[in-house]
Structure formats: C-alpha cells, structure tokens
Structure 1
Amino acid sequence: MSDQDRPYRNMPIGVVVKRQPGVTRWAKHSWKATSILPGAADADWRELRREGDVVEFHAGTVTLELFGAETEAYVHGLGAQVPCVYVIMREVPDKSRPFELLLVTASPYEAQDYCDTGEEIVEKVAMTPGLEAWVRDFVERFHEDEEFVKRRRHRERVDKVEDGIGDPRIGGLGDVYASPSLQKRRLS
C-alpha cells in the first residue's frame, strides 16, 4: 500500500488566538481561538494584528491528524451547518504565553472527551474551505458505513431464579423481607 492509500493524513495547522480586554474586573483579558491557518509554519505567540487593546496572535502550529478508524466522527463533524475543527489548549502560568496548544482535531468525539475532563479549554473554530475539502476527500476515500446488526436475545428465562433473596435465618416465604431481629422476637 502506498503512502497515498494509507488511511492516515496530517497537516500543520496554525492557531490564531485573540486577546481583548476583559468585561469584568476579575478578568483583565479575554482570550479566544478565532481562526486557523492550514499549512502554517512554526510560530510562538507572534503578534499578527493590533487594533487598540485587541491583539491577534499566531499562538503556535500543531499537527492535525486524520485516522482511518475515526472517519465516522469526521462524517459527523462535516455534517454540521458549519464544519469546524476543535482547538484544545491548557492554561499555563506564563503571562507572555497564557496557553499551551495541545491539539487541533476534526473529531467532535475527541473534542468531547477533552471537554469532559474540565482541565483543558476547547474552542470550536470554523474550517477554511480548503481544509474542509481536504477532510472530505479523506472521508470519501476511507469511510465505510458499518451495517447495524441487531443483537438477538436468548429465549431462556432468567428472571425465575430467586438466589440471594432474603435472609436464610427466616423460615417462611411470606417473611422473606423481614428483619431477622424481629423474626426472633416473634418466635420467642
């Protein structure tokens, strides 16, 4: 199998993060991943544009990886009204670089996993038309719909077994759920 036919692709993706003044007295700045730069070179919080107090940075470049086993997730993401990638960042104490870029993914399922931990910041950023075409091409080449197979039930009745019900010290079936201490008093 040639590299072109292998179910794996990757592309460097630059992440643009915008810093603007905070809206409360507790937050000096508000940060948000606003766009991506497919095929970007490496960068380290390089300032791209400044308008007053609003600054956009090329925060860094990470690799977007597509895997053949994840095509169902990519189909789900491409089916959205606006297809997006998800930028995963983690806060760091360094004031000059407030976030560490961890990952850019096209899988909404993987992004949800990072949301569940609560330790990372997950930003949804619209795909550029070229990136969307690249992901779509990958899905068209490698996605195979899996046929739904309904599980068959066993006809065996397992609900009639009453193992473990009640206390063995209680003699009558009518008193299966009675407390052993009350049972002793009744017998005395």
Structure 2
Amino acid sequence: MAASRSSSLSMPVGVVVRRLPGVTRWAKWSWKAVALLPGAGPADWSELRREGDAVEYHAATLPLVLWRTDTEAYLHALGARVPTVAVVMRPTTDPQRPLDVFRVTASPYEAQDYQDSGEEIVELVPMTAGLRAWVQDFCDRHHEHEPFVKRRRGPRMEMREEDGKGDSRVRQISDVYRAPRPKERLQ
C-alpha cells in the first residue's frame, strides 16, 4: 500500500468468475463475476470450486486503484444500497480463458463509461466489508467537498455588432435569419 498523502492507493483484488450451463442453444455456458478476493495472490483461471456443472474460477488478480481526484465517485458507490466494485471483461476465443478480466474499479462513473461502449462485459460485484471500509477510509482522508457555485451571466451588451450572423446567402439586411429562395442561392 502506498503512503497516506500520495495521489493514489492500490490493493490487489482477485476476481471470482462462475460458469453455469447456458439456458439457450446458442450459448453453451453462462459466465458471471460473482465475488472479490481482497489482497489475493496472482491467479490465472484457477479452479476454486465445482458443484455439478457449476464451476467457480479465480480468473485474475488485478489492482484496485483509488485516486484522490475520484473520491466523489467512490462516495457515490458507497452510498448505494449495495456498494459494488465493477469488474470489466472482454470475451476471447481461447477456450482455456474465455474472458479477459482486465479492469476492476470502485468508480461507478468509470464503470458507466465501459458500459456505454458496448464492447465490454461489466459486472457489478458487492464489496466485502473490509473492502468497503478501505474505500471509506480513503475517502475520509482525501475527499474535499466542492460547494455548488451558480454561474452568473455577464452584463448585456446593448450596442453590439452582429456582423456575419445568419445565412450568408441571404442578401437582405432586414432579415438575416430568413431562408434563401431558390433564385437567391449562390452557385
């Protein structure tokens, strides 16, 4: 772990992925990130548990990085009914490693960015009590509340020039917003 006043703090987090039989004929298997292992060692799709067709793997261990500039997002995640960490994965063609688990984040804003792209699979996994306390402690030490400041308009300019405003194809000065007629169009 890094020093208390650094710009970031990192912890290795293992990601547990569950494989279940698919419910349609087009998908043989269903994959879902189901748990986190804070402080886990390295892993590469190590089988953890098997119950019939259901298998859980320790798919990867990735750093969960907290940044001082993102504390508002972490507080938003902690304030949810169930605080979560987003696990971001991509499908692969390798049958031994069907998903590339490449990112874990405590920021719901960053998770939304990955969801918007549509290229990745984003699973929200509940934070463990220890992980929640770790994120809360980081936010308590680094969050700086920014008060809302309403933007004010500048003074009106009464005698300003509006040169060049409107459609340049309209030759009349009186109504620069009027649409040009076909005979007025420039060739």
Question: How would you bin the TM-score normalised by the shorter chain?
Answer: 0.7 to 0.9
In structure 2, relative to structure 1, the CA distance for the partners of 1:174 and 1:71 (3 Å cut) is closer
Report matched runs for 1:17-28 at 5 Å: 17-28=17-28
Q: Normalized against structure 1, the TM-score is what?
A: 0.87
Give the equivalent residue in structure 2 for 1:137: 137
* One-letter amino acid matched to 1:99: L
CA distance in 2, matches of 1:36, 1:49: 15
Q: Does 1:98 align with 2:98?
A: yes
Is the 1:170–1:180 contact (alpha carbons within 8 Å) kept by the matching residues of 2?
no
Which of 169-178 and 6-15 deviates more? 169-178
CA distance in 1, matches of 2:115, 2:47: 28
SS at match of 2:104: strand
CA distance in 2, matches of 1:91, 1:106: 22
SS at match of 2:5: coil
Return the offset for 1:169. 6.2
Give the equivalent residue in structure 1 for 2:109: 109
Give the equivalent residue in structure 1 for 2:41: 41
CA distance in 2, matches of 1:160, 1:113: 42
Q: Share of identical aligned residues, percent?
A: 53
Return the offset for 1:7. 3.5
In structure 2, relative to structure 1, the CA distance for the partners of 1:181 and 1:69 (3 Å cut) is same
Write out the 4+ residue segments of structure 1 that deviate beyond 6 Å after TM superposition: none
CA distance in 2, matches of 1:118, 1:164: 40
Is the 2:169–2:180 contact (alpha carbons within 8 Å) kept by the matching residues of 1?
no
Is the 2:170–2:184 contact (alpha carbons within 8 Å) kept by the matching residues of 1?
no
Report matched runs for 1:142-153 at 5 Å: 142-153=142-153
Unaligned runs of 5+ in 1: 184-188
Unaligned runs of 5+ in 2: none
CA distance in 2, matches of 1:166, 1:134: 59
Give the equivalent residue in structure 1 for 2:124: 124
Which of 4-13 and 23-32 deviates more? 4-13
SS at match of 1:45: strand
CA distance in 1, matches of 2:4, 2:166: 62
In structure 2, relative to structure 1, the CA distance for the partners of 1:172 and 1:57 (3 Å cut) is closer
* One-letter amino acid matched to 1:105: T
Q: Normalized against structure 2, the TM-score is what?
A: 0.88
* One-letter amino acid matched to 1:150: K
Question: Quick check: which has more Rg, 1 or 2?
Answer: 1
Task: Give the helix-richer structure, 1 or 2.
Answer: 1
CA distance in 1, matches of 2:170, 2:85: 63
Is the 1:7–1:142 contact (alpha carbons within 8 Å) kept by the matching residues of 2?
no
Which of 83-92 and 155-164 deviates more? 155-164
Return the offset for 1:19. 0.3
**Equivalenced residues, count:** 182
Is the 2:22–2:30 contact (alpha carbons within 8 Å) kept by the matching residues of 1?
yes
Give the equivalent residue in structure 2 for 1:12: 12
SS at match of 1:114: helix
Return the offset for 1:118. 1.1
